[in-house]
Amino acid sequence: MKPARRELLSICVLLGVAFWGFVGWYCWDSSENRDFEFGYFGDFNRVGHALVRIPGVTVTRNWANEDITLEEFGYGITTIGGQPLDLSFGESDPMRDMSGQKLTRALTARIQQESQSKGPQQ
């Protein structure tokens, strides 16, 4: 076999392995939520973990619109005062790109804003 053909065959095999490796990873990663803060459910888990760490906030439910990518998702929460709130995160929500203390501060601010706009529990 000529060296040029051997190199071409090697490249084709490498591209095939990379393609099928990606397909396999995507199928495994998106088939169920494994609680990772990366991958298909990464944004969802990062936000959920941050909500749980906020004192006085209890997560009561969650939802996600699963498609080729994880589209919108949200959480139902109860504040320390017992007020129920629904928080939704669309595809372009900047909080989906945050992590750590920055995410916690942004979530706390959104919860306070939602609580004030909703008014006291009746």
| Tens digits of residue pLDDT in 62-91 | 999 999 889 999 999 999 889 999 999 999
Return the C-alpha torsion angle 78, 119, 71, 73, nearest 10. Answer: 10
Look up residue 92 and give its amino acid.
S
**Could you tell me if residue 111 is left (phi over 0), alpha (psi between -120 and 50 degrees) or otherwise beta?**
alpha
Question: What pLDDT is attached to residue 52?
Answer: 96
* pLDDT number for residue 68: 87
| Residue 2 pLDDT level (bands cut at 50, 70, 90) | confident
Do 79 and 50 form a contact (C-beta atoms < 8 A)? no
Q: What is the pLDDT of residues 22-74, one digit of tens each?
A: 888 888 888 899 999 999 999 999 999 999 999 999 999 999 999 988 999 99
Q: Which amino acid is at 71?
A: E
